[in-house]
Amino acid sequence: MRNYGFGRALARGMAVSTLMVSMMSTSVLGQSVDLSKWSPEYVRSIAGTEEFDTAELCGAVTPLDYEGRLTFWYQGVFEGDPDLLRQYYKDFFEAFRATYPNIELEEQALTYNDLLDKFRTALLGNAGPMVVRLQILGGVEFASKGYLQELSPEDVGWKTEDFWPGAMKSVMWEGKTYGIPTNNETMALIWNADIFERAGLDPEAPPATWDDVVAYSKQIHDKLGVAGYGLVARKNAGNTPYRFMPQLWGYGGGVFDEADPNPTYEEIRLDSDASKQALQASVDMYVRDQSVPVSALTNQQADNQPLFLAGQLGMMISHPSDYNVMLDLQAKATGDDQTKAQTVIDNMRYGLIPTGPDGKRAVVFGGSNIHILNPEYVEGGEVDEAAAKAMVCFWTSPEWSLKMAYAGSNPGNLNGFKTKWMKERLDSIKFLDVTTSMLPYGVPFPTLPETPEIMNIIIPDMLQNALTGAMTVDEAAEDAAEKVRALTEGGGL
């Protein structure tokens, strides 16, 4: 089992790395982790080199004997998630309560697809929580509407330089900071080596370009009758932009200029030739070759996973959690099923996300941020600031920002990479090198209030219009561009 030519791929991707480094701009010099040296080897070299005492560090922000009350919503982990991750979440709240025994904590876990809508509804009724942890594309929308308090890493004892510059951009609105990144992730391409081999492809080499993905997908489908690539196009599900945007950026397209070194978000590029080319690739797979799941229009990643694990899907985009999910399933299987599960694990391969025709490689710079609400939108009309900061400090600490992202993501606080738990992760989670190697290729979503609407509604709509034949590729792209224009220049949200 080997990971496809990292060094070579990384070298080829230097242009993108340069882009990322330019995003780091002045902050890179003060960074606790040197992002300009980022490579799997560098990540390994810093892992386990430093220790952090969370209670001591957060105690300097909010005294450990502080008495107060806190309501907190977050995107939780549930029954389908790996046991390991669920245990860390459980440990986190136990540790917080043990560290701050006099803070009465009311936490509420919400599902990924439910959180934004539920939060919006609660805000309408001034019934929000004091602190909320939202997916990365949510923060700016709520900051722009005045729901969130200004909050920067310095407010809870950290430095802005302790966090990825791209992640910090996702909590900025009109020059002010409204939250702190808890975790950041980039995904990778997973493929089934056995399917590749049976389809006549090199089992150890992933498709190098998106055009290769289209060709490989067709070959797999034609030879074996199973789906080649796990296309997802479900509306109002974050999984769709996370999988389509890397393709869009790879071909050189974009919603705006978000993949450029210094984006201004002023030029709409959804109807550019490059964007249309990316959309055409999806149409080729779904309509022309019929080499992706027919249910792609309503699929999200949770629907791809069973197909992949059952050997009915050749390739998909996902993060390292899939490997942990598989280990979990194998541990809980019995008899013959356990052997079959082991075969699936043996055939799993992770590689870098393919490039576009010009060698451009990009991936969504994902993750979550934590925010404190303004009192008027909170149930009871009051925010216990000290208790809120204690929670924010705790979650964004090197220790917990790593542990809470243990199986599927990476710590928001870059110092998390230096902890002993990062070293443990690198030793125990196969393929982690691949997804951390994708971090420099990460492109943050546009930091605009309209981004959730664009990513969760307009982009999936564009895909669905083209895939169902309701519109041609040109029409779908132009229609989507027009909707973005109307949203950002006209009506707004």
Partner 1 sequence: MTSTSDTATPRSRKGVDGWRWTGRIFLTIMILYTALPMVWMLLTSIKSGFAAMQFPPQWWPTEPTLASYRKLLDPQNSVGQDFLRFFWNSLFVSFVTTVLAVVVAVPAAYAFSRFRFPGRKFLFFAVLLRNMFPAVIFLVPLFILMRVLGLVNTHGSLILTYLTFGLPLAIWLLKGFYDNIPIQLEQAARIDGATRFQAFLLIVTPLSVPGIIATAIYSFIGAWNEYIYAATFLTKNEQLTLPVGIQRFFSENTTDFPGLMAASFIMSVPVVVLFLVLQKYFVRALTEGAVKH
Task: Kindly list the residues in this chain that would bind partner 1 in the complex (CB under 8 A).
Answer: 73, 75, 77-81, 90, 106-114, 118, 121-122, 124-127, 129, 238-239, 301-302, 305-307, 309-312, 318-319, 321-322, 325, 328-330, 332-338, 340-341, 379, 408
* Min separation Cβ 420 and partner 1, Å: 27
Among residues 368 and 415, whose Cβ is nearest to partner 1? Answer: 368
* Min separation Cβ 192 and partner 1, Å: 13
* Min separation Cβ 180 and partner 1, Å: 21
For every residue of 117-169, DSSP letters joined together read: HHHHHHHHTT-B-SEEEEETTTHHHHHHTT-B--B-GGGGT--GGGB-HHHHH
Among residues 310 and 470, whose Cβ is nearest to partner 1? Answer: 310
* Min separation Cβ 127 and partner 1, Å: 5
Among residues 174 and 336, whose Cβ is nearest to partner 1? Answer: 336
Q: Are strands 131-135 and 68-75 parallel, antiparallel or unpaired?
A: parallel
Residue 323 near residue 348, CB atoms below 8 Å: yes
| Helix (H) / strand (E) containing 71 | strand 68-75
How many angstroms from the chain centroid is the CA of residue 269?
23
341's tokens: 């599960």
Among residues 177 and 182, whose Cβ is nearest to partner 1? Answer: 182
Cβ within 8 Å of residue 53, ≥6 positions away = none
* Min separation Cβ 53 and partner 1, Å: 28
Question: What b/e sequence results for 45-80 when a residue is b if at least 16 CB atoms lie within 10 Å of its CB, and e otherwise?
Answer: ebbbeeebebeebbbebbebebebebbbbbbbbeee
Which residue in 85, 341, 352 sits closest to 213, CA to CA?
352
Residue 169 near residue 447, CB atoms below 8 Å: yes
* Min separation Cβ 76 and partner 1, Å: 8
Torsion of CA 434, 435, 441, 443, to 10 degrees: 170
Among residues 38 and 89, whose Cβ is nearest to partner 1? Answer: 89
Among residues 77 and 426, whose Cβ is nearest to partner 1? Answer: 77
* Min separation Cβ 241 and partner 1, Å: 13
Among residues 182 and 277, whose Cβ is nearest to partner 1? Answer: 182
Among residues 325 and 466, whose Cβ is nearest to partner 1? Answer: 325
Residue 130 near residue 386, CB atoms below 8 Å: no
Question: What b/e sequence results for 183-219 when a residue is b if at least 16 CB atoms lie within 10 Å of its CB, and e otherwise?
Answer: bbbbbbbbbbbbbbebbebeebbbbbbbbbbbbbbbb
| Helix (H) / strand (E) containing 459 | helix 459-467
Cβ within 8 Å of residue 306, ≥6 positions away = none
Residue 268 near residue 454, CB atoms below 8 Å: no
* Min separation Cβ 271 and partner 1, Å: 31
Among residues 94 and 489, whose Cβ is nearest to partner 1? Answer: 94
475's tokens: 């029409």
Among residues 340 and 430, whose Cβ is nearest to partner 1? Answer: 340
What number of other Cβ atoms are within 10 A of residue 11's Cβ?
A: 10
